[in-house]
Chain A
Amino acid sequence: GNSVTQMEGPVTLSEEAFLTINCTYTATGYPSLFWYVQYPGEGLQLLLKATKADDKGSNKGFEATYRKETTSFHLEKGSVQVSDSAVYFCAPQAYSGAGSYQLTFGKGTKLSVIP
């Protein structure tokens, strides 16, 4: 089955620091790759995505590149803000047959940014 290994947290950074959250995956076929973010007390929402090798997804200053050769999709941001404090989930989405695509979530990485 599909699986995700995501950097464990919690991660605490000072404002304007550089952020990397590592994510590697195993999945059948050629998955689409997603990062979802969960702000305190809310549901998950899409942060960025990439659908083919070497694609770079980006949003709100965050970036991640689809690396097929290393099966990785690491999340980066050059300068974090207090408002980036949240839990981040890496999630490959692979075809599972009968017209169905399944999302598999990592365990999540909690990021706290302090002023």
Chain B
Amino acid sequence: NAGVTQTPKFQVLKTGQSMTLQCAQDMNHEYMSWYRQDPGMGLRLIHYSVGAGITDQGEVPNGYNVSRSTTEDFPLRLLSAAPSQTSVYFCASRTSTGAEAFFGQGTRLTVV
């Protein structure tokens, strides 16, 4: 079982560039979400989806877009990268009924 797969693992961007962080899960989970992890801040929810075609904002959505065209994939788009978006990004998935969340290995993003 692959679980939750995130790509890339590392990325360096210049300010103003755009990019997409990929997330795929093979567990047929309805619920997927993106978090960012910053020192001393824990994990903060960026966007989430309760199923294909349905997305919603989390705690810190500004500067990010998401879409959910299939159950398996939930990409996160940075529209115009800023140094404040330097962080480690985690994708997670779970069933919709409040069970355990499964996390990807993370993407470490640096914006210079």
Q: Which residues of A contact B (CB under 8 A)?
A: 4, 6, 32, 34, 36, 42-46, 49, 89, 93, 95, 98-103, 105-108
Instruction: With a 10 A CB-CB cut-off, give which of A42, A89, A95, A100 has the most chain B CB atoms.
Output: A100
Inter-chain contact B50/A43, CB cutoff 8 Å: no
Q: Report the separation of the CA atoms of residues A108 and B97 in the bound assembly, to the nearest whole angstrom.
A: 25
Q: Quick check: which of B14-22, B35-43, B66-74, B75-83 contacts chain A, the rest being far away?
A: B35-43
CB distance from A52 to the nearest CB of B (A): 12
Q: Which residues of B contact A (CB under 8 A)?
A: 4, 31, 33, 35, 40-45, 48, 50, 90, 92, 96-98, 100-101, 103-106
Residues of B within 8 A of A95 (CB): 98
CB distance from B26 to the nearest CB of A (A): 16
Inter-chain contact B45/A102, CB cutoff 8 Å: yes
Residues of A within 8 A of B100 (CB): 34, 46, 49
Given A43-B90, A44-B90, are A101 and B98 neighbors across the interface (CB < 8 Å)?
yes
Q: Report the separation of the CA atoms of residues A100 and B57 in the bound assembly, to the nearest whole angstrom.
A: 13
Interface majority SS (helix, strand, loop, mixed), chain B: strand
Q: Report the separation of the CA atoms of residues A108 and B4 in the bound assembly, to the nearest whole angstrom.
A: 22
Number of A-B residue pairs with CB-CB distance less than 8 Å in the complex they form: 53
Nearest B-chain residue to A94, judged by Cβ: B98
Q: A34-B100, A100-B50 are in contact. List 7 more A-B contacts (CB 8 A).
A: A44-B103, A46-B101, A93-B98, A103-B101, A105-B42, A107-B41, A107-B42
Given A34-B100, A42-B105, are A99 and B50 neighbors across the interface (CB < 8 Å)?
yes
Residues of A within 8 A of B43 (CB): 44, 89, 105
A-B contact pairs, 6 of them (CB 8 A): A4-B42, A36-B101, A44-B90, A49-B100, A89-B43, A102-B45
Nearest B-chain residue to A44, judged by Cβ: B103
Inter-chain contact B98/A43, CB cutoff 8 Å: no
Pick the contact of A107 from B40, B50, B90, B98 — CB < 8 Å? B40
Inter-chain contact B31/A100, CB cutoff 8 Å: yes
CB distance from A18 to the nearest CB of B (A): 25
